[in-house]
């Protein structure tokens, strides 16, 4: 038997905004049978991003956003497109906030300036009119959470970090000014955020290739001289090598060089894609990049993760072995990482696709995959909960391993939630003592996510099965008997608990004070911060210890191992439906290049 213990809460409370999704305007229909509406309802998805990823840069026309037909910029092929009025109308009627992606690829000059970079040539009239129309309800009265400035500037945006920084800073000011004017008539315009992308060293923005073989300080000196910047040498690591990711972000943030530009920006956007538990650092790499390079520069920035999932297009994962239930567990790990990083809004990718990581397969919606069912369970259960650290001695993990089962825990609103995920290749059973957490509860609900009999746990095409377990058969005297087949995930919800001594007194607003524990000790002591009566009998002055959000220092070694900058669009088969059309998907003509990314990454960041 294993006794679970913990040192306390860590990270931010999960909100429903962590469980948003992407609506790809070239796929399915917004409403009706087999539509996004049915899928979104089944998933419990919240904030909706439109019109998608790279298709925004290729197809979305701010001057004609309500078109139901768009044309491929390379082939001229016509494609059906969900008009913005259908999307906004659905969102308004069903209470979904929206994130609208603003295309950027065509907003630069055709020719570079003397520095070798193209300069912003923004169609300001079209941009202002679009902002005015969507805020004033021309296309529907949905609440707008944010305008996102482009999609993956380094890929589908086809620009480098200098160009994106200059474009994003100017575009931010224009949108901010238009919102200020609109706020006189539409007060909600004051609440709409403008969010820019985190910097990367990849593809069109791969500085490391341009400066291959250069001395590190000479690189910084040349960038400063060529572009009129004043960057210091802080992007040079202890090894003497450049942290190219840090440098890319310094370049972008340096372009926000006026008070108006800094004030206009409300948030920063990352895309988080992972390649399995062996590269767990990929869950936090972009989020740590934000903490190290943006939060200290801009005050009160919101953090958006407008695409996240296990990678859907990587040679590191096998579609018959590494997805399905194992992807479901990985999604839980990513959600935990976002809670640790204080992410405000997240949109899972993809809701509907032909890729191995899809939450539902096909052109139209019919049923949820195992990862889709996992997302539904989390979206229903986790909002209002905080993460409990079950491994206080391990800075890289909050879950603990019990044999071949990973245990995760959350608490909030009087409810205690555990997830137990099988990580092995065979069935297993473990007795797990949770008496340190709960004395009793009003009800216990146990749900197991698995796959149909005879189907592989890690196959992305295996049919998902969700079964309810009678608690009387699995819980007795504070002990759960956790029995799982390979890859299965068990969710245990204790409703309206009576906490165990030393855990949480229901309804109190508490700060955690860590204490040294052994296997038989209670996991927490607390300092009460509300005005409820304290019956402990202790009249001494209370002390508290804050639990800072964990971040990983982006050392050269960590970056080399975990940098997902092959990420984003190469992590999915993309919203141009490569599974149907064979066109390389959301990366457009980059399909062949994407197959080479694992090799390219070996060449450096």
Q: 416 — phi, psi (to 5°)?
A: -115, 130
Token digits of residue 523: 């996991």
β-pair partners for 445: 493
Output the pLDDT for position 502.
78
Mean pLDDT calculated for residue range 345-362 = 97
- Higher local confidence (pLDDT), 296 or 510: 296
Output the pLDDT for position 555.
54
> Residue 438, Cα to own-chain centre: how many angstroms?
31
Report helix, strand or coil for 279: helix
Report helix, strand or coil for 155: coil
Q: What's the chain's average pLDDT?
A: 86
Output the pLDDT for position 562.
54
The answer on pLDDT for 395 being more than 50 is: yes
How many whole angstroms separate alpha carbon 325 and alpha carbon 488? Answer: 6
Contact 266, 173 (CB under 8 A): no
Contact 373, 339 (CB under 8 A): no
Give residues with Cβ within 8 angstroms of 359, minimum separation 6.
21, 39, 43, 348, 350, 351, 352, 368, 369, 371, 372, 375
- Higher local confidence (pLDDT), 514 or 391: 391
Rounded to the nearest 10 degrees, the angle between the axes of helix 84-94 and helix 36-43 is 30
Least confident interval from 71-75, 165-169, 568-572? 568-572
Mean pLDDT calculated for residue range 158-175 = 99
Least confident interval from 333-337, 349-353, 522-526, 588-592? 522-526
Structure confidence by residue, pLDDT tens digits, 204-240? 999 999 999 999 999 999 999 999 999 999 999 999 9
How many DSSP H helices and E strands does the chain contain?
16, 26
How many whole angstroms separate alpha carbon 283 and alpha carbon 236? Answer: 24
Output the pLDDT for position 132.
99
How many whole angstroms separate alpha carbon 548 and alpha carbon 551? Answer: 9
Q: Which CATH superfamily is domain 2-9+386-528 in?
A: Golgi alpha-mannosidase II (2.60.40.1180)
Structure confidence by residue, pLDDT tens digits, 541-550? 333 333 334 4
Q: 294 — phi, psi (to 5°)?
A: -120, -45
The answer on pLDDT for 340 being more than 70 is: yes
Q: Which residue has the tokens 């003397």?
A: 114
Give residues with Cβ within 8 angstroms of 287, minimum separation 6.
270, 272, 303, 305, 337, 338, 340, 341, 343
Token digits of residue 592: 């062949």
Rounded percentage of the chain residues whose pLDDT exceeds 70: 83
How many whole angstroms separate alpha carbon 416 and alpha carbon 496? Answer: 8
Q: 101 — phi, psi (to 5°)?
A: -90, 125
Output the pLDDT for position 295.
87
Q: Catalogue the long-range contacts made by 592-601 (C-beta closer than 8 Å, 24 or more residues apart).
A: 593/203, 594/313, 594/566, 594/569, 594/570, 595/315, 597/314, 597/566, 597/570, 598/314, 598/315, 598/316, 598/566, 600/566, 601/563, 601/565, 601/566
Least confident interval from 118-127, 357-366, 400-409, 594-603? 594-603
Token digits of residue 305: 């993760």
- Higher local confidence (pLDDT), 401 or 397: 401
Token digits of residue 507: 């309804």
CA nearest neighbour of 198 among 567, 559, 552: 567
- Higher local confidence (pLDDT), 533 or 131: 131
Least confident interval from 82-91, 97-106, 377-386, 496-505? 496-505
The answer on pLDDT for 175 being more than 90 is: yes
Mean pLDDT calculated for residue range 518-539 = 30
> CATH assignment of 47-317+564-601, given 2.10.110, 3.40.1010, 3.20.20, 3.40.50?
3.20.20
How many whole angstroms separate alpha carbon 310 and alpha carbon 331? Answer: 7
Output the pLDDT for position 370.
98
Output the pLDDT for position 313.
77
Mean pLDDT calculated for residue range 176-199 = 99
The residues spanned by each domain of the chain are 2-9+386-528, 47-317+564-601
The answer on pLDDT for 503 being more than 90 is: no
Can you list the alpha helix ranges (DSSP code H) found in 228-356? 244-254, 259-264, 282-290, 324-341
Q: How confident is the model at residue 504 (pLDDT cuts 50, 70, 90)?
A: low
Output the pLDDT for position 578.
31
Least confident interval from 78-92, 100-114, 276-290? 276-290
User: Do you know the residue count of the chain?
Assistant: 605
Contact 306, 196 (CB under 8 A): no
How many whole angstroms separate alpha carbon 157 and alpha carbon 196? Answer: 13
CA nearest neighbour of 554 among 234, 274, 222: 234
């Amino acid at each position: 038997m294993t006794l679970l213990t913990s040192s306390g809460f860590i990270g931010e409370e999960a909100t429903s905004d962590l469980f948003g999704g992407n609506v790809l305007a070239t796929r399915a229909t917004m409403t009706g049978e087999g539509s996004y509406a049915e899928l979104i309802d089944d998933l419990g998805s919240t904030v909706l991003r439109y019109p998608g990823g790279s298709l925004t840069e290729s197809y979305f026309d701010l001057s004609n956003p309500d078109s139901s037909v768009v044309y491929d910029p390379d082939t001229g092929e016509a494609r059906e497109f969900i008009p913005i009025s259908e999307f906004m109308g659905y969102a308004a009627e069903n209470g979904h906030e929206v994130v609208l992606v603003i295309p950027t690829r065509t907003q630069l000059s055709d020719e570079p300036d003397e520095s070798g970079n193209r300069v912003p040539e923004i169609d300001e009239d079209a941009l202002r009119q679009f902002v005015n129309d969507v805020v004033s309800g021309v296309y529907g009265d949905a609440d707008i959470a944010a305008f996102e400035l482009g999609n993956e500037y380094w890929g589908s945006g086809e620009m480098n970090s200098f160009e994106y920084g200059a474009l994003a800073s100017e575009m931010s000011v224009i949108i901010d000014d238009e919102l200020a004017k609109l706020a006189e008539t539409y007060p909600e315009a004051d609440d709409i955020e403008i969010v820019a992308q985190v910097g990367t060293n990849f593809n069109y923005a791969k500085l490391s290739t341009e400066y291959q073989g250069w001395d590190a300080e000479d690189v910084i000196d040349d960038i400063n001289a060529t572009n009129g910047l004043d960057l210091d040498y802080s992007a040079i690591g202890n090894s003497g090598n450049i942290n190219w990711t840090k440098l890319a972000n310094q370049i972008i943030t340096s372009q926000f060089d006026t008070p108006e530009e800094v004030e206009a920006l409300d948030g920063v956007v990352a895309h988080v894609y992972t390649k399995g538990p062996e590269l767990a650092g990929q869950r936090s790499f972009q989020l740590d990049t934000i903490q190290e390079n943006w939060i200290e520069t801009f005050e009160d920035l919101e953090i958006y993760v407008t695409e996240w999932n296990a990678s859907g297009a990587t040679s590191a994962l096998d579609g018959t072995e590494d997805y399905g239930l194992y992807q479901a567990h990985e999604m839980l790990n990513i959600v935990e990482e976002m809670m640790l990083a204080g992410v405000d809004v997240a949109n899972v990718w993809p809701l509907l696709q032909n890729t191995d990581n899809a939450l539902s397969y096909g052109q139209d919606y019919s049923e949820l995959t195992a990862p889709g069912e996992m997302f539904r369970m989390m979206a229903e259960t986790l909002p209002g909960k905080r993460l409990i650290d079950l491994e206080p001695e391990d800075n890289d993990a909050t879950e603990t391993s019990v044999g071949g089962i990973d245990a995760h825990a959350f608490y909030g609103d009087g409810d205690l939630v555990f997830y137990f995920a099988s990580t092995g290749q065979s069935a297993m059973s473990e007795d797990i003592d949770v008496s340190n957490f709960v004395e009793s509860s009003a009800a216990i609900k146990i749900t197991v996510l698995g796959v149909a009999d005879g189907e592989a746990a890690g196959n992305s095409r295996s049919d998902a099965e969700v079964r309810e377990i009678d608690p009387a058969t699995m819980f007795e005297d504070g002990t759960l008997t956790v029995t799982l087949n390979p890859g299965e995930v068990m969710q245990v919800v204790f409703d309206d608990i009576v906490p165990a001594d030393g855990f949480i007194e229901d309804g109190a607003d508490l700060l955690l004070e860590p204490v040294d524990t052994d296997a038989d000790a209670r996991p927490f002591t607390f300092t009460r911060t509300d005005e409820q009566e304290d019956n402990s009998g202790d009249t001494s002055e209370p002390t508290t210890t804050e639990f800072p959000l964990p971040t990983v220092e982006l050392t050269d070694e960590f970056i080399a191992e975990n940098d997902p900058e092959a990420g984003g669009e190469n992590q999915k088969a993309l919203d141009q439906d490569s599974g149907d059309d064979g066109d390389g998907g959301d990366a457009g003509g980059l399909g062949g290049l994407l197959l080479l990314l694992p090799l390219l990454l070996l060449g450096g960041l």
